[in-house]
Amino acid sequence: MNTSFSSVITSYALSIGFSKAGITTPDLPDIPKQRLSQWLDAGYNANMQWMAKRSTERGDVYAYFPEVKSVISVAMNYFTARASDSPDALKISNYAWGDDYHDMMKQKLFELLAFIRLEYPDCNYRVCVDTSPVQDKVWAQRAGLGWQGKHTNLITTDHGSWLFLGELMLDIELTPDSPFDTDHCGSCTACLDACPTNAFPQPYVLDASKCISYLTIEHRGDIPPEFEGVFNGWIYGCDICQQVCPWNQKFEQVTHQPEFQMREQIRDRSTEQWSELSEDEFRRVFKNSAVKRTKHRGLKRNINFVSKTVGKNQSTE
Question: Of 86, 36, 79, which is closest to residue 205 (Cα–Cα)?
Answer: 36
C-alpha radius of gyration, the chain, whole number: 20
Q: For the chain, where are the E strands, in sequence order?
A: 20-24, 70-77, 91-92, 125-128, 147-148, 154-155, 163-170, 234-236
Q: How would DSSP label each residue in 198-262?
A: ---SBTTB--GGG-HHHHHHT--SPPPGGGTT-STTEEE---HHHHT-HHHHHH----S-GGGSP
Cβ proximity of 161 and 247 under 8 Å: yes
DSSP 8-state code for residue 94: G
Q: Could you count the other beta carbons within 10 Å of the beta carbon of residue 284?
A: 10
Cβ proximity of 119 and 5 under 8 Å: yes
Rounded distance, CA 95 to CA 101, Å?
Answer: 8
Residue 130 annotated in active site: yes
Bridging pattern class, strands 125-128 and 91-92: unpaired
Give the side-chain half-sphere CA count within 13 A for 58: 23
Phi and psi for 157 in degrees, rounded to 5? -85, 0
Annotated active-site residue in 60, 130, 158, 268 = 130
List active site positions.
130
